[in-house]
């Protein structure tokens, strides 16, 4: 990769990397549901949203989407400077011919550096995703020096075979970006190990250019098990990290819990040590949730704060006010659309505010219906007091 002078690029674009601008006076702190970010044209679907809040309070959001007018897929980047009320399309994360020539096909991830990594200063925005096609799957890393307005390829983290969810095939999927203690971790799903139909693993880097060995996070002794879709957050009140994932025995098969993709979670003292932790099923209101979990922690909701988890099939969300105790999960009503791999966000300056980002479901949207990429904004305290219904606002 040709390294850029990141600070110079940012200055030319009118923004200083890492400079925390004073937050603007809030314009729209009210609650709302299913506020449209964009509606994909007929014949296309937007799913798997991912978001990051920047140091100045700006929110960036993206989604997996295939533009029918484009020859290759890309990740569109949307920006909101008024707390999720309005959104502007500012850029695209694309896969250049000189990298893979396959397009940015699926499973985006976003993160803003809170400390320097190698030649990349604090404030650099990172994007990852699966650049995939008929020949390979690629977990690649991109960086923006101007807060999401332009992107440059940084490195390939890992490469697998062509997309194929059959056990015995060798693709990779679903990156998650998480730093810890001076190292950057990229977590992902991996079918390349002949001992596992699919496992969860991570690789680490200190400079974002070179990546270390593959370290397993969830690797079942039963070959047919297919853990997938890593999401991680920090539980401030306990000093622990929580790792959530789906855990089907075989893709599409009913589990012991009578659903296809039951949700499990692990707790650890740091995000690189989940391999030493046991996995627990998420059970609430006689349900385990089903598929594509997403977890966030907020200090709101009591002395322990609150864990909030979303799944793929349930419009409700799951909450836990006891730092992940297995018998303390509760299902809560809320008006945001059910969708495949919804994303959640708690803004840094307002622990009582919860954003829920939704797109299309995995496979059961009504034919011909254009499902928007949308966002819902709620109060955590009201959520915990069961003040919402499925049709509010």
Question: What are the DSSP E strand ranges found in 261-339?
Answer: 263-268, 280-281, 294-298, 306-310, 317-320, 329-332
Query: Does CATH place domain 6-17+31-384 in 2.120.10.10?
Result: yes
Tell me what pLDDT residue 97 has.
Answer: 85
Q: Which two tokens stand for residue 372?
A: 């928007």
**3-state SS class at 340:** coil
Encoding tokens for residue 164?
């194929």
**Is residue 303 exposed (0-12), middle (13-18) or buried (19+ Cβ within 10 Å)?**
exposed
Q: Coil, strand, or helix at residue 306?
A: strand
Per the CB < 8 A criterion, the answer to whether 76 and 69 are in contact is no
- CA angle (313, 314, 315) in 5-degree steps: 125
**Residues 388 and 378: beta-carbon distance below 8 Å:** yes
DSSP 264: E
CA-based nearest residue to 104, from 124, 133, 126: 133
Residue closest to 48 by CA, chosen among 360, 309, 372, 376: 360
**Per-residue pLDDT at 17:** 43
> Three-state SS across 180-195?
ECCEEEEEEEECCCCC
Q: pLDDT (tens digit, 9 = 90+) per residue, 118-162?
A: 999 999 999 999 999 999 999 999 999 999 999 999 999 999 999
Distance from C-alpha of 55 to C-alpha of 78, rounded to nearest angstrom = 16
- pLDDT for 19: 46
Helix, strand, coil in percent for the chain, rounding step 5: 5, 40, 55
Q: Torsion over CA of 117, 269, 139 and 289, rounded to 10 degrees? A: -140
DSSP 276: G
Residue 16: predicted pLDDT: 40
CA distance to 57, 61, 331, 352, 380, per residue, from 384 (Å): 25, 26, 10, 11, 6
Domain definitions of the chain by residue range: 6-17+31-384
Is the Cα torsion angle 303, 50, 315, 248 positive or negative in sign? negative
Sites in the chain below the pLDDT cut of 50? 1-20, 22-23, 25-26
**Two structure tokens written together for 293:** 């979990």
CA distances for 39 relative to 46, 51, 189, 223, 314, angstroms: 8, 17, 29, 40, 22
Coil, strand, or helix at residue 342?
A: coil
Neighbours of 235 (CB within 10 A): 20
């Amino acid at each position: 990769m040709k390294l850029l002078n990141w600070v110079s690029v940012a200055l030319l674009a009118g923004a200083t990397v890492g400079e925390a601008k004073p937050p603007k006076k809030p314009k729209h702190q009210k609650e709302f549901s299913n506020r449209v970010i964009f509606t994909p044209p007929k014949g296309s679907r937007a799913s798997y949203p991912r978001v990051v809040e920047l140091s100045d309070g700006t929110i960036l959001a993206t989604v997996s989407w295939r533009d029918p007018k484009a020859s290759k897929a890309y990740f569109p980047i949307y920006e909101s400077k008024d707390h999720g009320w309005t959104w502007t399309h500012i850029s695209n994360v694309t896969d250049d011919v000189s990298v893979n020539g396959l397009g940015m096909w699926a499973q985006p991830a976003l993160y803003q550096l809170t400390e320097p990594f190698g030649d990349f200063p604090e404030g650099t925005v990172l994007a990852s995703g699966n650049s995939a096609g008929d020949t390979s799957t690629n977990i690649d890393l991109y960086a923006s020096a101007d807060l999401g307005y332009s992107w440059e390829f940084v490195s390939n983290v890992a490469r697998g075979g062509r997309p194929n969810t059959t056990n015995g095939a060798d693709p990779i999927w679903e990156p998650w970006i998480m730093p810890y203690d001076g190292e950057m971790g990229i977590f992902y799903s991996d079918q390349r190990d002949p001992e596992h139909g699919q496992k969860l693993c991570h690789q680490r880097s200190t400079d974002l250019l070179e990546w270390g060995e593959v370290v397993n996070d969830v690797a079942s002794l039963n070959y047919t098990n297919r853990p997938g879709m890593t999401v991680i957050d920090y539980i401030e009140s306990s000093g622990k990290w929580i790792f959530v994932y789906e855990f089907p025995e075989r893709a599409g098969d009913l589990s012991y819990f009578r659903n296809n993709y039951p949700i499990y979670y692990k707790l650890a003292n740091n995000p690189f040590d989940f391999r030493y932790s046991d996995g627990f099923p998420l059970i609430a209101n006689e349900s385990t949730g089903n598929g594509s979990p997403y977890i966030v922690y907020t200090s709101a909701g009591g002395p322990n704060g609150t864990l909030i988890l979303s799944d793929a099939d349930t419009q409700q969300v799951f909450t836990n006010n006891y730092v992940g105790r297995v018998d303390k999960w509760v299902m809560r009503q809320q008006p945001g659309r059910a969708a495949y791999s919804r994303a959640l966000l708690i803004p840094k300056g307002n622990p009582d505010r919860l954003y829920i980002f939704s797109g299309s479901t995995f496979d059961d949207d009504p034919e011909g219906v254009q499902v928007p990429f949308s966002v819902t904004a709620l109060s955590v305290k009201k959520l915990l007091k069961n003040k919402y219904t499925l049709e509010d606002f």
